[in-house]
Amino acid sequence: MSVVRVWIHAVWGTKHREHVLTEDVRPAVINHILHNAKKKQIYIDRLNGSTEHLHCLFALNADRSVAKTLQLIKGEAAHWVNEEQVTPLKFEWADEYYADSVSESDLPAVRSYIDNQEEHHKKRSFAEDVEEFLRKYNSSGHG
C-alpha cells in the first residue's frame, strides 16, 4: 500500500468570474462538493470561498493527479448545479485553476485563510489575489 502525504491548496473560479456563488448558493455547492468528494475518496480538509471562486485544501491520493482530482470535484459539481437548477442560468467553472503544495507547518495558516474568505475579500478582491498568485509564481522561476 502506498502512503502519500501531500496537501494541495487549490483555487478555482466561476466562468468569466461571474458572481453566482451567492450566500444562498455557495453553502449548497460546498456541501455537495464535500459529499461527492467523500464518495470518491477525496479528503477535503477545508472548502470555502466567495461569490466567484472557491478555495480547497485537500490531501492528494496516491493514484490521482491534481488535475484529475480537480476534474472530479469541479466537473461533477457543475453538473449537479445545472441538473438541480441551483442557479437560474447555466453554471460553469473557469477551465483554469491555481494549485500549490502546502507543507505540514503551513497547514494552520492555510486553514485560517480558507476559513476567513469572506473577511479576506472585504479587503482584497479575487482579481487582486490572482494577480498576487501569478506574480509569486512567475517570479519563482517556474512557468
Task: Give a yes or no: residue 2 inside a domain.
Answer: no
Number of domains in the chain: 1
pLDDT at 110 over 90: yes
Tell me the per-residue pLDDT of 10-63, one tens digit each, with 9 for 90 and over.
999 999 999 999 999 999 999 999 999 999 999 999 999 999 999 999 999 989
Q: How many residues does the chain have?
A: 143
CA distance 46 to 34: 9
Structure pTM? 0.83
Task: Give a yes or no: residue 1 inside a domain.
Answer: no
CATH number for 128: 3.30.70.1290
Tell me the per-residue pLDDT of 48-61, one tens digit each, with 9 for 90 and over.
999 999 999 999 99
pLDDT at 141 over 50: no
Residue 50 lies in domain: 7-139
Please, what is the end-to-end C-alpha distance for the chain in angstroms? 33
CA distance 109 to 128: 19
Task: Give a yes or no: residue 38 inside a domain.
Answer: yes
E strand or H helix at 34, and its extent? helix 26-39
